[in-house]
A and B are shown apart, each in its own frame.
Chain A
């Protein structure tokens, strides 16, 4: 089963290496990992998307807690959570196709952030599956480059349960 782990860590050099070193030998395939500052100064939030059964996830959480630099581990899959990813994609686009591409990305609430003579860059955010669909729709135009941030996520507050 897919799990999204939110891990609060000390903002220290090598902390990412410590976490991935711990996951590697235990055969955890990391689908994505993203790190950034958290609401607390000196702490970063790491969002790890991985797969595993209940036993494996309990183990990985306990092992993560053994790292001195890990402060808190939450499995966001246990509760409603908002997951988002940012996608930048550069597609082939000449004067004839620009408008068409703009039309394709519009329902995704994506935006065109750069235009060149033969290409344009689209920025989109959302859940992973939505971005996958957008990529497929843009594929016929010729994909030149893709960059994705990986998933970041926060648990929903119960009082405001929808976006």
Chain B
């Protein structure tokens, strides 16, 4: 606090005393500094003018997005890459409502975020004032918690609580709505040291009895399998998961959100399960007698919305920090509420757990080898799977890759074998188009030493490509890979498979020339239509010190396989196009 005193609000050190008065907006920024916030993403406007006036001193770095949705996705990407809460600021009314998609995206994937909105002065609230929207009410179902600050004296406590709630237990977005009069009101600054919230005490230590039951089941199981989800990544439990799986000799399936939580090259790894999962992962789920879900929520892209025919031979163990997840989607034999890291530490702790199932491991590894992910490569036209594979090989699998939702997302999940956590940044739960590119900018700002690749469709890129302005002005060296099939690929695929090829509004003709568009922002861009061009363009883009875009023109009718239709069993996998 001392070192910032000379800058914020122009106060000199001699003026820094417990009696010094600050405005609400100065207090807010001091709180953010106390929370070790490095960077803010946002967009100014009338109701946040006092906050931006306090930012004028430049103590906190602020990235000016070109749309509030870009700002919040960037803050989200920063949070996912670093594990620290992302912070976004938007003005009242339209500024705040533009955050909604981003808040819902963060909520669904349990991302710690603090979203600060300005609001009209309190005496105007409820009068349909200019740029007034009830953002507390609008966001109520999609926040972990929210605050309306009605008194400047509450501000430090609220900010402290907001960061605590956002980043502990099952993380999530917290909204702080600050009316303009509160931002202007004056008070002394004192940041609380501890936080105490009566109704908020997340359980992190598992019940020892349930751990003992788990050990017993593992010892008796013949066909155990681990289903590891995003909770492993959030908890930072990748080491513990590896130790657990290796010690107990249990094969591991990772969900989309869990990719990178267990190394993609590990012999015990069977890939991703579910709608576009591997044969080995899905058949392991069909056969297993002990399914250990770790920080995974058994959502409908894994169970196909059919819990009645999902893993029917298995006793299900469910480890999750959120008690509400347990029993929500599947019946649970052993519930273990706790932080994944602590649970796994407890499980491997004393007596060695080990299942005796060499035959089972042989069997699942046999499936993994016999039924690999495959696609029909071509020398005439670029195949999107080949492009992803090429990214993987040229980066040694070490890059952070962000995606939107859809075909490109699934190809990344299938063909980029993530070696470490916090490397795949994807909108898994909400499935938000336009997420990946701004998220990549935030991830790169949080992890400057890593290569960050935004793999994106030509549809999704057009939802937030205006954020090229930040990439350009702040020289953020993100590499954008457009998987350009001139279609809304996944919708097209569903229309082909489920709607008798009645293609309706999936043709993206009229899209801009992405190379020219990118160059208009002063960012380097290449186009690739053949493997030779692709190899060359990607090498140049990767070597370029600043932001760069490669527009890969890929086969427009390529589909994602394997595929299980919603409502079908995991044994009903479509392995590929019949024509092929």
Query: Does A associate with B in a complex?
Result: yes
Listed in ascending order, the chain A residues whose CB lies under 8 Å from chain B are 10, 13-14, 17-18, 21-22, 25, 55, 58-59, 62-63, 65-71
B140 touches A17 (CB 8 A): yes
B322 touches A66 (CB 8 A): yes
A65 touches B140 (CB 8 A): no
B137 touches A62 (CB 8 A): no
A17 touches B141 (CB 8 A): no
What are 9 A-B contacts with C-beta separation under 8 Å?
A: A10-B198, A14-B140, A18-B140, A55-B327, A62-B328, A66-B322, A67-B145, A68-B144, A68-B165
A22 touches B197 (CB 8 A): no
Known contacts A59-B328, A65-B324, A70 near B199 by CB under 8 Å: yes
* Assembly CA distance A21 to B134 (angstroms): 15
* Assembly CA distance A153 to B327 (angstroms): 29
CB neighbours (8 Å) of A70 from chain B are 199
B324 touches A69 (CB 8 A): no
CB neighbours (8 Å) of A10 from chain B are 198-199
CB neighbours (8 Å) of A21 from chain B are 140-141
B199 touches A25 (CB 8 A): no
For residue B565, CB closer than 8 A to chain A, the reply is no
B137 touches A65 (CB 8 A): no
A22 touches B141 (CB 8 A): yes
Closest to A63 in B: B324
* Assembly CA distance A86 to B396 (angstroms): 71
Q: With A14-B136, A67-B199 given, can you name 19 additional A-B contacts, CB distance below 8 Å?
A: A10-B198, A14-B137, A14-B140, A17-B137, A21-B140, A55-B327, A58-B327, A59-B324, A59-B327, A59-B328, A62-B323, A65-B323, A65-B324, A66-B322, A68-B145, A68-B165, A68-B200, A70-B199, A71-B199
The proximity string for B residues 186-215 relative to A, scoring 1 for CB distances below 8 Å and 0 otherwise, is 000000000001111000000000000000
A69 touches B141 (CB 8 A): no
The 3 residue pairs across chains A and B that have the minimum distance between CB atoms: A62-B324, A68-B145, A21-B140
Closest to B174 in A: A68
For residue B148, CB closer than 8 A to chain A, the reply is yes
Q: Which of A10, A18, A71 has the most CB of B within 10 A?
A: A18
The proximity string for B residues 124-154 relative to A, scoring 1 for CB distances below 8 Å and 0 otherwise, is 0000000000001100110011001000000
Closest to B202 in A: A66
CB neighbours (8 Å) of A13 from chain B are 148
Q: Which of A10, A59, A68 has the most CB of B within 10 A?
A: A68
A69: min CB distance to chain B, Å: 6
B149: min CB distance to chain A, Å: 12
The proximity string for B residues 317-332 relative to A, scoring 1 for CB distances below 8 Å and 0 otherwise, is 0000011100110000
A27: min CB distance to chain B, Å: 14
* Assembly CA distance A13 to B148 (angstroms): 9
Closest to A66 in B: B324
CB neighbours (8 Å) of B145 from chain A are 67-68
CB neighbours (8 Å) of A17 from chain B are 137, 140
Closest to B150 in A: A13
B237: min CB distance to chain A, Å: 22
CB neighbours (8 Å) of B144 from chain A are 68
Q: Which of B141, B197, B324, B327 has the most CB of A within 10 A?
A: B324
Q: Within the complex, which residue of B136, B197, B327 is in contact with A68, where a contact is CB–CB below 8 Å?
A: B197
Closest to B331 in A: A55
Closest to A24 in B: B141
Interface residues of B in 153-205 (CB under 8 A from A): 165, 197-200
CB neighbours (8 Å) of B323 from chain A are 62, 65
* Assembly CA distance A95 to B350 (angstroms): 86
A150: min CB distance to chain B, Å: 22
Closest to A21 in B: B140
CB neighbours (8 Å) of B327 from chain A are 55, 58-59
CB neighbours (8 Å) of B328 from chain A are 59, 62
A34: min CB distance to chain B, Å: 20
A68 touches B199 (CB 8 A): yes
CB neighbours (8 Å) of A66 from chain B are 322, 324
* Assembly CA distance A68 to B162 (angstroms): 11
B171: min CB distance to chain A, Å: 13
* Assembly CA distance A65 to B201 (angstroms): 10
B393: min CB distance to chain A, Å: 43
CB neighbours (8 Å) of B136 from chain A are 14
* Assembly CA distance A70 to B137 (angstroms): 18
A44: min CB distance to chain B, Å: 12
B148 touches A25 (CB 8 A): no
Q: Within the complex, which residue of B137, B148, B199, B322 is in contact with A69, where a contact is CB–CB below 8 Å?
A: B199
A8: min CB distance to chain B, Å: 9
* Assembly CA distance A58 to B145 (angstroms): 22
CB neighbours (8 Å) of A58 from chain B are 327
CB neighbours (8 Å) of A68 from chain B are 144-145, 165, 197, 199-200
B322 touches A71 (CB 8 A): no
B125: min CB distance to chain A, Å: 12
Interface residues of B in 104-138 (CB under 8 A from A): 136-137
B10: min CB distance to chain A, Å: 35
Known contacts A59-B324, A65-B324, A25 near B200 by CB under 8 Å: no
Known contacts A59-B328, A63-B324, A25 near B197 by CB under 8 Å: no
CB neighbours (8 Å) of B322 from chain A are 66
* Assembly CA distance A68 to B197 (angstroms): 8
CB neighbours (8 Å) of A59 from chain B are 324, 327-328
Interface residues of B in 407-445 (CB under 8 A from A): none
* Assembly CA distance A21 to B140 (angstroms): 7
Closest to A40 in B: B198
CB neighbours (8 Å) of A25 from chain B are 141
B546: min CB distance to chain A, Å: 43
* Assembly CA distance A62 to B328 (angstroms): 10
Closest to B170 in A: A66
* Assembly CA distance A63 to B200 (angstroms): 13
B221: min CB distance to chain A, Å: 26
* Assembly CA distance A17 to B136 (angstroms): 10
CB neighbours (8 Å) of A22 from chain B are 141
* Assembly CA distance A131 to B199 (angstroms): 36
CB neighbours (8 Å) of A55 from chain B are 327
Closest to A22 in B: B141
* Assembly CA distance A63 to B140 (angstroms): 14
* Assembly CA distance A63 to B325 (angstroms): 9
A76: min CB distance to chain B, Å: 20
Closest to B200 in A: A68
Closest to A69 in B: B199
Closest to A70 in B: B199
A139: min CB distance to chain B, Å: 39
Q: Which of B136, B198, B199 has the most CB of A within 10 A?
A: B199
B292: min CB distance to chain A, Å: 21
